[in-house]
Structure 1
Amino acid sequence: MLSKVANFSFRMASASVLSRLNQRAKQAESMITDLKQQIAILRQNAAITISNPEEERLRVENQKLRSDVEELKSQLILTEIRNGVKQIPLPTNRTVAKAEPPKKEPTNQPEIKQAPAAANNKDQKPEKSNKKEKKVKQSAADGEPKAKKGKNEPKTEEKMDVSRLDFRVGKIIDVKKHPDADTLYVEEVDMGEGRNRTVVSGLVNHVPLEQMQNKVAVFMCNLKPAKMRGILSEAMIMCASTPEKVEILNIPPGAAIGDKVTCKAYPGAPDVQLQPKKKVWETLAPDLKVNKEKVATFRGDPLVIEGKGALTAPSLKDVQIK
């Protein structure tokens, strides 16, 4: 009897132990599953933490590359304009397709044939020969030599100096960024002409917008107007320039809107408008420089406003003027 009770107690104890072991096994499996999920989340967060700085770095580099490309585009456009290359605006999504011309409907009118004019030839008199032609033929028959116009005339060399460039003082009364170019400003400039000129300049990456507003500067006014990304530019602001830095030239104290800039060593009246085919600006531009004293010069002689002083650069020395 005692052995049966002992066996029963042993079986009950074994069942209880097995039950607890099964329960702990399930808990262990649940804990393992939770740990795996937490490990996966930690790995994902670690990957994001590592990749975020790299993405930010790439984003900054891409933005800089875009800015560099836009600046190169604007420099290319300015160079093409100075060389007389016509600018054609790029099409945009706002471009409206032109309607097709209406088709001509066929008409049922009979064709009218023109009557031959041979019948009227009898009534027509032969045209009289030109008296001048007769004189030329007669002189040739008499042995007189024919004179060629301008054959022996000496050729005069075209003057090529800074006096042909129309530099004037103007004030920027309004400025904004070009709607279709990130590196270009569009300025409205008062030059004392009774109307404002529109000027497009590639200075966005060099001069802040607030410094452009109400700026008094020197502009070249006799370049042929040309479109830059769809906007007609009627002058060019003059700057001391390097690939890394660009500065608008300073005018002397007391200079007024409309004052002309000249070079005493090269007197003369400027062209009304430079002809791109003659390459006047392209020929003279290399001789426009800022010297070691920061004075704007042409072939070493200063550019001045009569009675008021010379043009200067804010800080650049020994650089080109563009």
Structure 2
Amino acid sequence: MDNIDNLFHPSLGEALMKLDPEDGEKIMEYFKTHALLTREKALLQSSLRDQKKLLVENGKLKKDIEQLRNQLQDKQRRRTAKALFAPVPPPSTCSPAPGTAVNQTSSPAGATAASPSSSSSSSHDRRERHSRRRRGDKKARPDSFCLVVEPEVNASRLDLRVGRILSVRRHPLAETLSVQEVDVGENAPRKVVSKLGGKTDLEELQGGLAVLLCNVKACKLRGVVSQARLMCCSDDDDHIELLTPPAGSTPGDRVTFLNYPGEPDRELQAKQRVWELLQADLQVDSKGVANYKGCGFEVKGKGLCRAPSLTNCIIR
């Protein structure tokens, strides 16, 4: 209250007392109380702004730490596989140590160390090798043998994440295609081209959550680069629905499988056909739950991913 008292000049209190001797002191106390409440409100608003700013920065740091951890684990796995399955070098031949007895067959008296025919044969071989090198010919060499461990093909290799659809529009060059911008918890949204143009009310998709496959190779579809794949399901009548994450999910949440732990590939290689091999076992069951071989699409601590209304159908 001392600081509040300093805000008011003594002449203000005297003037109030002259104008209203009975309620002058009450009016003065009211002014002081109002000033104190105004200052406390300003301090509270400032602290709330600082708290929101810290929460946003904390969320960004957590995402950066998670990305660095995944990169470190990937490097460690590759380093371990390289060390375990690198070819073993052949043992080197050593000359006998000084003083070691070496069995030698005694040659008869007058015999030379090497016959003239063997000497001429070796010189002929040397000339032949030299001529081949000059012509650019090379002897066929056996390829070095190296064991390569192929990771098991299961759903853990898919980088599935929750994303929020920020915008959606029809593809400018194809009626059956649509273009979405999706926030998947990264610094910038991803652009996705999908075959939803003629099957879905695009306006209803904007602002909603979806499940995306994020480690597919970026490719151009009719001139627009697609950086991910929207996970959807369809029935025999070709009705299409996007898979829906559980309530409380946020962009960037990983979709995992309880029975198939592990980190996803950095990028699915087309020659390995991982997506094609796994797609046959991705389906929506009779309860509407998306699953792989009976193991549900799960966002840890939040629940399972589902189809809005379809059941017993495929995921694509």
Report the TM range for the smaller structure's normalisation.
0.5 to 0.7
> Per-residue deviation at 1:206?
1.9
Counterpart position of 1:291: 285
User: Would you say the 8 A contact 2:233–2:241 is kept in 1?
Assistant: yes
Of all paired residues, the percent bearing the same amino acid is: 43
Aligned CA RMSD, in angstroms, stands at 2.5
Name the CA distance, whole Å, in 2 between partners of 1:235 and 1:156. Answer: 27
Counterpart position of 1:259: 253
Higher relative contact order (CA 8 A, sep 6+): 1
Q: 1:219 is aligned with what amino acid?
A: L
Name the CA distance, whole Å, in 2 between partners of 1:196 and 1:156. Answer: 35
For residues 18-37 of structure 1, what are the structure 2 equivalents within 5 Å? none
SS in 2 for 1:247: strand
**Cα offsets for 1:119-159 (capped at 9, x unmatched):** xxxxxxxxxxxxxxxx99x9xxxxxxxx98547x6x64531
Name the CA distance, whole Å, in 2 between partners of 1:221 and 1:176. Answer: 20
Name the CA distance, whole Å, in 1 between partners of 2:308 and 2:143. Answer: 58
Counterpart position of 2:108: none
Query: Among residues 214, 221, 226, which one is paired with 2:214 in the alignment?
Result: 221
Q: 1:162 is aligned with what amino acid?
A: A
Is 2:196 the partner of 1:203? yes
Q: Structure 1 unaligned runs (5+)?
A: 1-134, 139-146
**Cα offsets for 1:211-248 (capped at 9, x unmatched):** 12112101000000110001000001111112520111
Q: 1:284 is aligned with what amino acid?
A: L
Q: 1:170 is aligned with what amino acid?
A: G
Counterpart position of 1:185: 178
Name the CA distance, whole Å, in 1 between partners of 2:158 and 2:303. Answer: 19
Query: TM-score scaled to structure 1, two decimals?
Result: 0.52
SS in 2 for 1:181: coil
Counterpart position of 1:101: none
> Per-residue deviation at 1:291?
0.5
Is 2:151 the partner of 1:172? no
Is 2:297 the partner of 1:309? no
Query: TM-score scaled to structure 2, two decimals?
Result: 0.53
Name the CA distance, whole Å, in 2 between partners of 1:182 and 1:157. Answer: 40
For residues 95-244 of structure 1, what are the structure 2 equivalents within 5 Å? 149-150=144-145, 156-242=149-235, 243-244=237-238
**Cα offsets for 1:34-85 (capped at 9, x unmatched):** xxxxxxxxxxxxxxxxxxxxxxxxxxxxxxxxxxxxxxxxxxxxxxxxxxxx
Name the CA distance, whole Å, in 2 between partners of 1:148 and 1:168. Answer: 41
User: Would you say the 8 A contact 2:163–2:185 is kept in 1?
Assistant: yes
Counterpart position of 2:275: 281
Counterpart position of 1:271: 265
SS in 1 for 2:212: strand
SS in 2 for 1:293: coil
Q: 2:213 is aligned with what amino acid?
A: M
Q: Number of residue pairs matched?
A: 179
Q: 2:313 is aligned with what amino acid?
A: V
SS in 2 for 1:284: helix
Counterpart position of 1:116: none
Counterpart position of 1:320: 314
| Closer, same or farther: CA 148–248 of 1 in aligned 2, 3 Å | closer
Q: 2:157 is aligned with what amino acid?
A: R
Q: 1:246 is aligned with what amino acid?
A: I
Name the CA distance, whole Å, in 2 between partners of 1:187 and 1:148. Answer: 48
Name the CA distance, whole Å, in 2 between partners of 1:224 and 1:262. Answer: 20
SS in 2 for 1:282: helix
User: Would you say the 8 A contact 2:175–2:198 is kept in 1?
Assistant: no
SS in 2 for 1:194: coil
Name the CA distance, whole Å, in 1 between partners of 2:234 and 2:215. Answer: 21
Counterpart position of 1:125: none
User: Would you say the 8 A contact 2:288–2:306 is kept in 1?
Assistant: yes
